[in-house]
Amino acid sequence: MNEVNAANPTIGRVLRASTTGFTVGCRVNQLDVPAFGGLIRADTADGDEAIYGLIANMAIDDDPLVRRLVLAENPPPEAIGDQRRNRLLPIEMTVLALGYGRAGRITHGLPPRPPLNLDPVVMVTAPDEVRRFTDALGYLRLVLSHAGGGVPIDQLLVAHILDVTRLRGDDHTWAARAIQELVRLLRGDYELLVPTVEALSEALPGLAP
């Protein structure tokens, strides 16, 4: 399943995983690529399977040395660069598992098994692969199933729809279809529907109802 594609930059490796999601660790100098709501793919070591998901949280940890540096009146750029470039504090990204690929076919749903520690993770930015994953919208139901679990679902959906619209070449037709699907899925959940639609209206004026 592993696709060699320069448009899909590597963003880190799996730190820990379960069926419903996994955590990716990356270095600070890899941080300019991943973004909240972005579609990512973890490739298994044997290359037979890939697990797709959305970045639902990014956390930057600290340690006693960083805490001490924060207290310095004016830490020099050499010390700040040292923390960011040399010291191995991974930035952790929480990923919601939404689908998997096997033998060239993508399926929406929880993967049969999670990725393993240290499996490489790429940001899916190649337009063809983005289309293949997002043409069908079944994965949105899985995203919504995480509501109430501490993930800001409305903001996650807005970030994701904006990102995919751009990667699909400003495909506003797809965006309108995704919004309609969300309205349909959330018609019984006004508490989530209202903020989601409001946020989408602000981000994509004219597309949201």
Partner 1 sequence: MALEFEQLSPELEAMGQRAAKRARQEADYLAAALARWRSLAGAWDVITPVLAAAAAPEAPRRLARPVAGGARLDEVFGLPAAPERGTLLAADGSQIVPDRHAPYLYYLLNVGGLVYRHGSGEPPEELSRPRLCYEDDDLFLADGLLVDGAIVGARRDRAEIELLAELAEACRHEAAPILAILDQRLLYWPASRPGWDRERNDIVLAWLAAMTRIREAGALLAGYLDRSRKNAVLALLQALDEAAGDPVLRAGASPRLTDVDLFARLLAPGQRSQLFADLSRDNRQYAEHAATNEVCFFYVNVASRGSHIARVDIPRWVVDDPVAVDQVHALLVGQCQILNGYPYGLTRADELAVVGRRDQEELENWIALRLAAHGVAAEATAKAQAKELARAGRTRFRL
DSSP 7: T
Joined together, the tokens standing for residue 46 give: 């044997």
As a whole number of angstroms, the distance between CA 138 and CA 50 comes to 18
Query: Does position 72 bind partner 1 by CB under 8 A?
Result: yes
DSSP-derived pairing of the beta strands 120-123 and 10-18 = antiparallel
In this complex, which beta carbon is closest to partner 1, that of residue 75 or of residue 152? 75
Among 32, 46, 78, 105, indicate the residue that binds partner 1 (CB under 8 A).
78
| Phi, psi angles (nearest 5°) of residue 41 | -140, 130
Query: Does position 3 bind partner 1 by CB under 8 A?
Result: no
DSSP 29: G
Query: Does position 118 bind partner 1 by CB under 8 A?
Result: no
Q: Which residues contact 188 (CB under 8 A, 6 or more apart)?
A: none
Among 31, 35, 69, 183, indicate the residue that binds partner 1 (CB under 8 A).
69
Q: Which residues contact 152 (CB under 8 A, 6 or more apart)?
A: none
Under 8 Å between Cβ of 27 and 15: no
Query: Which residue, 84, 124, 76, 81, is CA-closest to 100?
Result: 124
Q: Find the part of the chain contacting partner 1 (CB under 8 A) among 4-12, 54-62, 84-92, 104-112.
A: 84-92
- Smallest separation, CB 9 to partner 1 (Å): 22
- Smallest separation, CB 32 to partner 1 (Å): 16
Q: Find the part of the chain contacting partner 1 (CB under 8 A) among 42-50, 81-89, 174-182, 201-209.
A: 81-89
Among 45, 79, 136, 194, indicate the residue that binds partner 1 (CB under 8 A).
79
Among 3, 82, 92, 181, indicate the residue that binds partner 1 (CB under 8 A).
82
Query: Does position 81 bind partner 1 by CB under 8 A?
Result: yes
As a whole number of angstroms, the distance between CA 46 and CA 127 comes to 25
- Smallest separation, CB 86 to partner 1 (Å): 5
Residues that bind partner 1 (CB under 8 A): 65, 68-69, 71-73, 75-79, 81-82, 84-87
